[in-house]
Amino acid sequence: MTGKATRLPIYQVDAFTDRVFAGNPAAVVPLESWLPDAQLQAIAAENNLAETAFFIRSVDGYELRWFTPAVEVDLCGHATLATAFVISTILEPGRAHMDFATRQAGTLTVTRDGDRYTLDFPCRPAKPAENPDPKLLAALGGPAPVAVLSGRDYLVVYESADAVRALTPDMALLSKLDLFAVCVTAPGDNLREGGVDFVSRLFAPAQGIPEDPVTGSTHCMLTPYWAERLGKTVLTARQVSARGGDLLCELAGDRVKIGGQAVLYLEGSIRV
């Protein structure tokens, strides 16, 4: 390293869980001003988590960006929740309302009520996929799905939670698909899933994320699908990855409200 290094604070938060070693870990890096994009990407790659969130203060709230180890993404739920947690519990204790200006997803609002955070995100309904990538089902394996839809990601619907849980996708083949990621979902199994309305998993190997533990933004697509199918606007969800996580989702017109908890795992600094 040449020259004087800059020290930046960093926090690692487990989102959509009430205990460490569960949910989805995200790094959160507060900044005084924006660093070059290449440096933000390098920090995210070094962190090697599904997402690293960077934010700065603005006149009306905050500006927020998210990076996987490979790319900047347009929307990320768990890293937004992690950022709100850091602000309201560490940087500005007690803050209950946060507005985040983003580059592609508009303004996102997070509110805090006790230990629960609610994210107000845009609704992103999927449509039936007319010509899904022929590699999709081969990459997923498993039984034939009930339906295949698409938006930013593929949404593949199975008959049972067990089918979703048992999938062992071919990540190399999945990484060659034509959309950003693949979400698989099924109705919740009341006995094994504690009564949740639906379960899911999310794979995005082309973005540096073989399987995302808990994906808030994907529930912007899942919520309108299951709201229509189940005839209800408030739904409970569980992402059945190895770490797992729970979400409370509400369809509110063209918005989706996603609720969850978060816990701090790590606090420190990085030198760049």
What distance in Å separates the CA atoms of residue 256 and residue 176, rounded to the nearest whole number? 30
Nearest to 240 by CA among 167, 169, 179, 182: 167
- Residues 207 and 177 sit within 8 Å (Cβ to Cβ): no
Q: Could you give the CA distance from residue 207 to residue 186 in angstroms, rounded to a whole number?
A: 24
**262 and 246 Cβ atoms separated by less than 8 Å:** no
Contacts of residue 76, defined as CB under 8 A and 6 or more positions apart, other chains included, come to 26, 51, 53, 66, 216, 217
In the annotation, is 267 catalytic? Answer: no
Active-site residue identified among 32, 51, 63, 130? 51
What six digits make up the tokens of 218?
């994907």
Active-site residue numbers?
51
